């Protein structure tokens, strides 16, 4: 199940960022997940909860933003929703030279800290 390796990588990155910024907890992690990324959202949710154990991310909510797969035909420049299962044949000219525009995304969009880090340089005299 590759969702576990994805969840572990996300948690490690967020946990490291929280520590770097002096934050003691994470409230929410937002991910962008493309339709063709091969990720099962329910499996990712389950794995995320397991991967958070013992980290500053424990108890955080995972929110995923789905990105629909879109393609463009190179010869005729028509764009269309690829759908599932993926249909990469151009519906306009039946061409097969296509460019995938969206749908493979898998990235952290943002993190909400449970508390704000102390202001840099606060209490220091300049």
Per-residue pLDDT at 123 exceeds 50: no
DSSP 92: T
Within a domain: 94: no
Q: State the pLDDT confidence band at 125, using cuts at 50, 70 and 90.
A: very low
Inter-axis angle of helices 41-52 and 2-20, nearest 10: 50
Q: What is the pLDDT of residue 121?
A: 41
Q: CB burial class (10 A; 0-12, 13-18, 19+) of residue 78?
A: middle
Q: Is the pLDDT score of 22 beyond 50? A: yes
Report d(CA 81, CA 92) in Å as an integer.
12
- Number of domains present in the structure of the chain: 1
Q: Which domain range does residue 36 map to? A: 2-69+103-113
Residue 79 lies in a domain: no
Does any domain span residue 51?
A: yes
What is this structure's pTM? 0.79
Q: Is 114 exposed, middle or buried (0-12, 13-18, 19+ CB in 10 A)?
A: middle
Whether 18 is in a domain gets the answer yes
């Amino acid at each position: 199940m590759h969702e576990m390796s994805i969840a572990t990588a996300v948690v490690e990155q967020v946990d490291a960022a929280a520590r770097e910024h002096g934050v003691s907890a994470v409230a929410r992690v937002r991910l962008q997940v493309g339709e063709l990324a091969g990720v099962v959202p329910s499996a990712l949710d389950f794995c995320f909860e397991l991967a958070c154990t013992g980290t500053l991310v424990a108890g955080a909510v995972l929110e995923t933003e789905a990105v629909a797969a879109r393609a463009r035909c190179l010869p005729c420049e028509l764009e269309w929703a690829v759908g599932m299962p993926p249909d990469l044949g151009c519906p306009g000219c039946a061409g097969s030279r296509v460019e995938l525009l969206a749908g493979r995304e898998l990235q952290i969009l943002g993190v909400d800290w449970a508390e704000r880090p102390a202001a840099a340089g606060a209490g220091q005299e300049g």
